[in-house]
Amino acid sequence: MNETPIDWAQLKKDARAVMKRAYAPYSQFPVGVAALCDDGRTIVGCNVENASYGVGLCAECGLVSELHASGGGRLTAVSCVDKHGNALMPCGRCRQLLYEHGGRDMLIDTPEGIKKLHEILPQAFGPDDLVERG
């Protein structure tokens, strides 16, 4: 486990940088996300849209793909930003994605300050439910 204090300013800077690489020609709503992993590395993602609108990928989709493509592990802290560089709340689907790979105590920067994932996705369905209720 990485015990270094979280540099939220740097994480937001990384999210802003990758937001500039988003492919969002249809919505004009670029999103960038950066995360610290439990081994200390930083990963990023941006949204990638499609002419078939419904198959567009949220920034968090790219992030979790990068998590595993770059070695796996768990997400510990996440910063997601809009085109102004301001904190953006992940959509519902993406909160679920983050829950799978970060769990209830994953930290996230929100317009209301740093929160734990369970605060923005209460009573989440997750891997434990498959075991306990399967």
**Of 60, 100, 119, 132, which one is the catalytic site residue?**
60
Q: Which of 108, 101, 100 is nearest to 75 (CA)?
A: 101
According to the binding rule CB under 6 A, does residue 91 interact with ligand THU?
Answer: yes
Q: Which of 57, 130, 59 is nearest to 100 (CA)?
A: 130
**Could you tell me which stretch among 9-17, 56-64, 104-112, 124-132 binds ligand THU (CB under 6 A)?**
56-64
CB of 56 to ligand THU, least distance (A): 5
According to the binding rule CB under 6 A, does residue 120 interact with ligand THU?
Answer: no
Q: Find the DSSP H helices in the chain.
A: 8-19, 59-69, 92-102, 117-120, 127-133
**Identity of the residue, 24 or 120, whose beta carbon is nearer to ligand THU in the bound complex:** 24
Are the C-beta atoms of residues 74 and 105 closer than 8 Å to each other?
Answer: no
**Identity of the residue, 37 or 78, whose beta carbon is nearer to ligand THU in the bound complex:** 78
